[in-house]
Every structure is written in structure tokens, then in C-alpha cells.
Amino acid sequence: MNPDCIFFNGDRPCKPHKKFSYTCPTCPEYTPITSHILIIKLDAVGDVERTTGLLQPLLQKYPGAAITWVTKKNALPLFKNNPHVYKVIEYGPEAQLNLLTSTYDLAINLDAAEDSCRLMTIAAAEKKIGYTWNPKGYAEPLNPEAEDWFEMGLWDDVKKANQRTYQDIMMEICGLEGRMTRPVFVLDDKERAFADEFAFRKQVNRNAPVFGLNTGAGGRWVHKKWTMEGYQSLIERLEELYPESSILLYGGPEEVERNAELARAGKNVIDTGCDNDLRQFGALVSLCDLMVTGDTLAMHIGLALEKRMVVLFGPTSLAEIDLYGSGIKIAPEGMDCLCCYRPDCDVRPTCMERISVEEVLTAIREQL
């Protein structure tokens, strides 16, 4: 037996045996696991997606490692088809049982949230980095490299002053050199066929630029999303400048009415629907050539799929976002309250209201 093989299951036949009838003593697919790494990154879904860019640098530093990732249920679909993860475990009883009965060479927790930190305390690992839970009742950094990010989560002025990307900070916390790779979101043939069928049925013109407008931004920070008037004017201008192009609207349940109204703003506008599951959403994002969006999950998936991006910023940090050379970031000038992370705002016009259609159009032209 080769219980150290990455394909070994223990309670059922492994993939090489099922596919080729190989057995352990002579199996040419034998791939020994050299170390076990645990990553705890529970939410939000967009944060989980952007953190998947750590996987390849980790495997470069620890070749042959088996990476187990613990996350919440709504983020699990992100890891479908991901070749860099050995095991993904849903946060809850299964994760607790796994951590109580497993040992790891390295455990990484990149959130100072209480649930993540408490989970870290029960992980048995030779080395731990990131954040843990102090028995006296508070989160604390485990290594000096994690202190800056910890302070950014506590004090608004430190967060606002930061000019480093999230990717750079996470790489430093994990002791990794170089640049974090793009997020990972791998579509399979069935998902690509789903997108192709949608494009055919809706008559998406793929011989001209396909523009994606992700009109929402979740419910936590309302002012992360651009205005209806901004999107309506942008649609009008895009149809004037690129009359053969298709404009795809993206959103979730909160954007049903918003996108239905925007779909009536032009003749080439197609609503992709607001009830797609996460995998379908990613497949539909693959159809666009360039996306206009706020700081959202759609942005992270678009970057994973190597889409050109025009990203609009207001209440969240522009500096933290790495577009990997694939886009332009826009924020209003002359406002010292940007990067406030406030759920509401009494400043009028708001930061997102101050972003003009001409600014967005200029950025789009530069990306085509």
C-alpha cells in the first residue's frame, strides 16, 4: 500500500485504479505527499476567491504538498476543478472533526475573525502563521509579518494609509517570495458549453467586443456600486461607439429590478440573469471581453478568467486590489473620505456619484 500517495483514499478505490486498474506496488501514478498544509479562509466569497492566488506560490515553496482548505458553504463551488487543492472542507462539524484528528506541517489562517481564529486553535500543526485566538478572549497575530494586516483591520486611518496590495501582504504573511498569481477559477467543458449555449440563444455577437456590466456590489457596502444613471448613460454611449457590440448585465438577487430596468436602456443589452449559481455566474463572466464593475466577487472571477477590467472604487481600498496588469482603477479625485468602509454615507454627492461616464469610457477605450 502507498497511504502517502495523493490519490490514496483508504475506504474506496483511487482514481488511477478505477481508470487504469493500477494497484499500489506497480502504480506509475504514485505521487507521494511530502507535507500537509492547512488554509483557513472562510469568507467573504470574493476574499476567498482572491486568496486562491496563494496556492501556486505555496506549492512552489513546498513541492508535493497536499493543501486542505476550510471555508464556508457558499464558497465551496469556487474550488471545483481547482488542481492545486487536495481537499476542501466545509466549515462546521466536518471541519472540526478533521482538525481534531489530523496533523499538519503548516497551518495558515489569514483572518482575525473570531470563528477563523478559534478554528486555528484546534489545528495541530508544526508551524502556524496568521492569526489565532487567545484564551483570554481576543484574536492575535502569530507572526510579526501578520501584524500590519491585523492593525489595518482595527484602525481606519491605518487601512486608508496602506498602499500595498492584499496579494503582497498575504504573500509576506505566508513567508512567500515573488508575486501572488491570479485567482483560480477553472471552468470545465460542461460549464463552457452552458455559456456557449446562452450566447447562441441570446445572440451575443462574439465578433465584436462584448462588454460586461456588473451592476451590484452585495449588501454590506451599498456605495460600492455605481449609480443607475451612470450605467444607463454608459450603455447609451457604448451603443453609439460600438453599435455591433453586445452588453451583458451581471448581478445577484439584489439586482433583479436594477438589471431589468437597465436591460431596457439599449437594444444590444442582455440580462444574464440574477439567479445563476456561482459556477454558472463564472461561466457567463467568461463571455465578456471587458467588465465594468465595483470591488466585487465578479471582479475577482473576471481576473481569474483574465478579463480586461475597469474597476470603480469609493468606500473600499483601491490600493489593495491588484489587477495583474489587466485593467484600470477609477476613483473620484479630491475626496479625503475614500476607503472609509462605512455601510452608509451622508456626503453628497457620494464618491460613486462623482465618477463620470467619460472617465469610464476613456478607461474602456484604453483597454480595447
Assess whether 265 and 168 both reside in one domain.
no
Assess whether 343 and 259 both reside in one domain.
yes
Assess whether 154 and 203 both reside in one domain.
no
Under the phi-then-psi rule, with left for phi > 0, alpha for psi from -120 to 50, and beta for the rest, what region is 153?
Answer: alpha
Assess whether 215 and 338 both reside in one domain.
yes
What is the edge-to-edge ordering of all strands in the sheet holding 103-109?
87-90, 65-71, 35-40, 103-109, 124-134, 138-141
pLDDT tens profile 192-239: 999 999 999 999 999 999 999 999 887 666 778 899 999 999 999 999
Distance of CA 207 to the CA centre of its chain: 29
325 assigned to some structural domain: yes
Give the CATH number, domain containing residue 217.
3.40.50.2000
Assess whether 127 and 208 both reside in one domain.
no
Number of DSSP helices (H) and strands (E) in the chain, helices first: 14, 12
Q: Tell me the backbone φ, ψ of residue 328, rounded to 5 degrees.
A: -130, 135
Q: Which residues contact 124 (CB under 8 A, 6 or more apart)?
A: 99, 102, 103, 104
120 assigned to some structural domain: yes
| Cα–Cα distance measured from residue 129 to residue 107, given in angstroms and rounded to the nearest whole number | 6
pLDDT band at 336 (very low <50, low <70, confident <90, very high): confident
| Cα–Cα distance measured from residue 171 to residue 273, given in angstroms and rounded to the nearest whole number | 36
User: Which residue has 456605495 as its cell numbers?
Assistant: 223
Assess whether 143 and 281 both reside in one domain.
no
Residues in the chain: 368
Whether the CB-CB separation of 168 and 181 falls below 8 Å is answered with: no
pLDDT tens profile 138-197: 999 999 999 999 999 999 999 999 999 999 999 999 999 999 999 999 999 999 999 999
Number of domain units in the chain: 2
67 assigned to some structural domain: yes
Q: What is the pLDDT of residue 221?
A: 63
Assess whether 248 and 134 both reside in one domain.
no
Assess whether 93 and 209 both reside in one domain.
no
Nearest-CA neighbor of 331 among 322, 319, 318? Answer: 318
User: Quick check: 340 pLDDT over 90?
Assistant: no
185 assigned to some structural domain: no
| Cα–Cα distance measured from residue 271 to residue 334, given in angstroms and rounded to the nearest whole number | 35
180 assigned to some structural domain: no
- The model's pTM is 0.95
User: Which residue has 481547482 as its cell numbers?
Assistant: 82
Task: Write down which residue in 110, 142, 173 finishes a domain.
Answer: 173
Task: Write down which residue in 173, 208, 226 finishes a domain.
Answer: 173
Task: Write down which residue in 140, 173, 206 finishes a domain.
Answer: 173
Q: Which residue range is the domain that position 33 belongs to?
A: 25-173
Assess whether 66 and 161 both reside in one domain.
yes
CA angle 202, 204, 205 (to 5 degrees): 150
